[in-house]
């Protein structure tokens, strides 16, 4: 049996289906989520390693960004009311998606334009109104490519 990393490479290093009958085929994200089922935490570590590996193909890295977001959501810890209350008492804003946002913000500085754009798209999907002013400054260099 192939390793988790090999299965992820096989699932992610493909072009998304195109054409009239594309809906019949599953895309890279769906295939990778099937690989991850039941071992999301391990898959998250592997996806982060694949994104950091300079030997990974640009297509694989681009397709791994939405998977990274999905896995962060799937492995996220549901905070207790006490944790939320304690954060507020310390003057901190509790953000259950902090780890995901930090991962995606690191990818905004990636050398590959398509990875930066994919990270920007994922960040915009989870942004709170309070996140928008600093996010606007980070995304300004990508505006010509996002149009």
**What pLDDT score does 24 carry?**
54
**What pLDDT score does 3 carry?**
92
**What pLDDT score does 58 carry?**
92
**What pLDDT score does 20 carry?**
62
**What pLDDT score does 27 carry?**
84
Q: How far is Cα 90 from Cα 26, in angstroms, rounded to an integer?
A: 46
**What pLDDT score does 118 carry?**
93
Q: How far is Cα 106 from Cα 101, in angstroms, rounded to an integer?
A: 9
**What pLDDT score does 25 carry?**
61
**What pLDDT score does 22 carry?**
59
Q: Kindly give the parts of the chain with pLDDT less than 50.
A: none
| Nearest one of 61, 56, 12 to 34, comparing CA atoms | 12
pTM: 0.83
**What pLDDT score does 46 carry?**
96
Q: What is the 3-state secondary structure (H, E, C) of 19-63?
A: CCCHHHCCCHHHHHHHHHCCCHHHHHHHHHHHHHCCCCCHHHHHH
**What pLDDT score does 142 carry?**
83
């Amino acid at each position: 049996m192939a390793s988790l990393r090999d299965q992820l490479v096989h699932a992610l290093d493909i072009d998304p289906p195109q054409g009239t009958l594309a809906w019949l085929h599953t895309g890279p994200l769906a295939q990778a989520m099937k690989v991850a089922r039941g071992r999301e935490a391990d898959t998250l570590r592997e996806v982060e390693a694949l994104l950091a590996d300079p030997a990974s193909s640009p297509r694989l890295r681009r397709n791994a960004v939405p998977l990274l977001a999905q896995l962060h959501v799937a492995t996220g810890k549901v905070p207790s009311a006490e944790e939320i209350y304690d954060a507020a008492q310390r003057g901190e804003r509790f953000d259950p998606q902090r780890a995901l946002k930090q991962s995606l913000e690191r990818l905004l500085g990636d050398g590959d334009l398509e990875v930066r754009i994919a990270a920007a798209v994922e960040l915009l999907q989870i942004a709170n109104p309070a996140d928008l002013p600093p996010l606007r400054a980070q995304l300004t260099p990508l505006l010509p490519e996002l149009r």
